[in-house]
A and B are shown apart, each in its own frame.
Chain A
Amino acid sequence: MEKILQVNDLHISFDIHAGEVQAVRGVTFDLYKGETLAIVGESGSGKSVTSKALMRLLPTPPSRIKQGEILFEGKDLTKLTDKEMQEIRGKKISMIFQDPMTSLNPTMTIGKQIMEAILKHQNLSKDEARKRAIELLQLVGIKNAELRMKQYPHQFSGGMRQRVVIAIALACNPKILIADEPTTALDVTIQAQILELMKDLQKKLGMSIIFITHDLGVVANMADRVAVMYAGKIVEMGTVDEIFYNPKHPYTWGLLASMPSLDHKDTELYSIPGSPPDLLNPPKGDAFAPRNPYALKIDYELEPPMFQVSDTHYAATWLLHELAPKVEPPAIVRERMKQFADIVARKGGKPRG
């Protein structure tokens, strides 16, 4: 498959009063054409920072890209000027944000906000742009599009607003759509509608999606591949089946175990003990070690490299080293893994890969 975006060893730091917060510490991944890559992790794991960095939307200062490259269409995005970057934003790479209640300008009509993106990147007259905006509204499933064009954000519900935000992002048929927790702020039913819409649009338009979320349920539903982030690093990466059926990193186990499930009313919901490390002073060795019940002595001394599990599956844990004791995932995770397999089997599908 064709690689559309390559991120190599990306380091991002924030210079604050107390020192340097190393929010992203060496992230590497590729994005293929037409796929959905999910980036999962707790808050503060660096997933949002990574996604904003791809768009160069982080304020500098205090943030700075310390090291690494973001290759897109033969260009390193980290080296582009503001002007060159503006040509890419909204046209080649688009982004939708978490909270649709605040991500639209309250004093500008919906129509104008969509047309703004069209007029910026496409050589269209105002009338053509208006027509295109109406098409976009229809595309994202908004009825009475012509009337809706003249309305203001406060006249839309949360789900409708998120549809508008998506319409803006799709205005110029971008190659990549970055969705930063696009459903977190929505009701569950609306959430499902928006996810369906996104899948549907991806099928129609063929763009690649980077989907940032902390909700593994959404990941199972949406993603082709998954990158699990912890403390500014990708700790495990693989296809969605590999991550759900054959997770290798203890942190991924923790995430899977802490997913609420309808089938297990009687078991206590698992939670990963402790809290993520302070990235102002990242710990020596594996950042997850202090919360890892399977930690080894080496975890406190040396950072684990990425061990290859399969062609598409990598994990950064010493447990994969040949000298390490053989450890099975905890029972609850094994049960979960089985469940996922069952669900897929019931649906009659075969594991994707």
Chain B
Amino acid sequence: MAKQQYDQLSPEWFQPAPPNVGEQEKINRPSLTFWHDVWLRLRENKAAIAGMIMIVILALLAIFAPMASERSYKAQNLSHAKLPPKVPVLENISWLNLDGKDPNGVDVYKERGVKEYYWFGTDDLGRDLWVRTWYGTRISLYIGLLAAVIDLFIGIAYGGISGYYGGRVDNAMQRVIEILNGIPYLIVVILFILIFEPGIISITLAMVITGWTTMARIVRGQILKLKNMEYVLAARTLGASNSRLIFKHLIPNVMGPIIITTMFTIPSAIFTEAFLSFIGLGIRPPEASLGSLVNEGYKSIQTYPHLIIIPSIVISLLILSFNLVADGLRDALDPKMRK
């Protein structure tokens, strides 16, 4: 066939040239650790990065904005009540509605002779909404952090013990979870609120009681799966102790699902607190939570829409950001799901 066209080849070319196999086996890509790889994948996810940046911004505002303001979250000033938002510089961009005018176009600040700027306006008692909103965000972040901590400590320990020891221990521990899961979270909260006062303590306690069951189930399932894997058996055969097995072999391999679960717990905890505060079971005035701020905003939804719009946007952004990061982490940690 193609033989003729190759006829003019020089005999020189037909010298043997066996390959250097050692050369061939050299790995020429830098080896990446698992976490480095996860980070590279996460970095490509624009939504997750946007979420992370947003969380940092919101957290910084929540921490520093109330501190930097000379006004307190509960200081009332009736002469400054129900002022619409007014922000320097941005007041000149008319569609943003940050010019201190109410929905009818009246410049309330000028009318009442208020010289100060209230960036987010004030509520019906003249409390500064800027400070109250960030104060409420603090509560949301605290709840999110708390949920994560509970997940990480109680959830992992419970699930880990249950899965690792198996047998009768596991059986008993699973029955407890099953019953705890049967009791709706809302009901546990209500019980605590009836014993204590509505507020942060009741929510915290209710979370401690029920918030970790999902994590416990996931960790247990993973440990059950992993502990029969050959590499664990191998380590056991080599005489590794229980704690070494748990901390060196099992936990690191469960880290992915743990992180994903934790990240999804945070937004749902934040939502739950906002929801409870909204229906009056959570944080109550004069304390401020994003949920209770939205609830108060409903009273004047037509006349002073800023009272509902601002905390609504902040709570939505907060939950959205955490969800985006959680989604991103899940995709980065679980390559199977990334298609």
Q: Chain A residues in contact with chain B, CB under 8 A?
A: 273-274, 289-302, 305-308, 318, 321, 323-325
Contact = CB atoms under 8 A, between A and B. Distances in A.
A306 B21 contact: no
B16 A294 contact: yes
Interface string B9-41: 101111111110100110000000000000000
Given A306-B2, A323-B9, A323-B11, A297 B21 contact: no
Top 5 nearest A-B pairs (CB, nearest first) are A298-B13, A305-B2, A273-B21, A274-B24, A297-B17
A295 B18 contact: yes
Contacts of A321: 6, 9, 14
Contacts of A318: 14
Contacts of B16: 294-297, 325
B27 to A, nearest CB: 11
B89 interface: no
Contacts of B19: 274, 289-293, 295
Contacts of A293: 18-19
A157 to B, nearest CB: 23
B179 interface: no
B11 A295 contact: no
Contacts of A296: 13-17
Interface of B: 1-3, 6, 9, 11-19, 21, 24-25
Contact of B14 (A274, A307, A323): A323
A295 B17 contact: yes
A298 B3 contact: no
Contacts, number: 62
B6 A273 contact: no
A128 B240 CA distance: 64
A306 B3 CA distance: 9
Contact of B1 (A290, A308, A323): A308
Most chain A C-beta atoms within 10 Å of own C-beta, residue among B3, B15, B16, B18: B16
A324 B18 contact: no
A325 B6 CA distance: 16
A306 B21 CA distance: 26
A324 B14 contact: yes
A81 to B, nearest CB: 26
Contacts of B11: 323
A324 B11 CA distance: 8
Contacts of B13: 296-298, 301-302, 323
A330 B3 CA distance: 26
A325 B17 CA distance: 12
A299 to B, nearest CB: 7
A310 to B, nearest CB: 14
Contacts of B3: 305, 307
A292 B14 contact: no
Nearest to A296: B14
A86 to B, nearest CB: 25
Nearest to A318: B14
B15 A305 contact: no
Contacts of A324: 14
5 contacts: A274-B25, A294-B16, A295-B18, A300-B17, A321-B14
Nearest to B18: A293
A309 to B, nearest CB: 12
B1 A306 contact: yes
Contacts of B21: 273-274, 291
Given A305-B2, A307-B3, A323-B9, A299 B24 contact: no
B24 A298 contact: no
A185 B79 CA distance: 81
Nearest to B23: A290
B1 to A, nearest CB: 6
A99 B3 CA distance: 43
Given A274-B24, A274-B25, A297-B12, A305 B18 contact: no
Nearest to A314: B1
A299 B17 contact: yes
Contacts of A323: 9, 11, 13-14
Nearest to B5: A305
A293 B19 CA distance: 6
B25 A298 contact: no
Nearest to B20: A290
Contacts of A308: 1
A291 B16 CA distance: 13
A292 B14 CA distance: 14
Nearest to A289: B19
A302 B12 CA distance: 14
A29 to B, nearest CB: 15
Contacts of B24: 273-274, 290-291
A273 B18 CA distance: 12
A293 B17 CA distance: 8
A324 B25 CA distance: 27
Contacts of B17: 295-297, 299-300
Contacts of A305: 1-3, 6
A302 B18 CA distance: 16
B8 to A, nearest CB: 11
A308 B13 CA distance: 21
Nearest to A301: B13
A292 B2 contact: no
Nearest to B19: A290
Given A325-B14, A325-B16, 16 more contacts: A274-B24, A290-B24, A291-B21, A292-B18, A292-B19, A295-B16, A295-B19, A300-B17, A302-B6, A302-B13, A305-B1, A305-B6, A307-B3, A318-B14, A321-B9, A321-B14
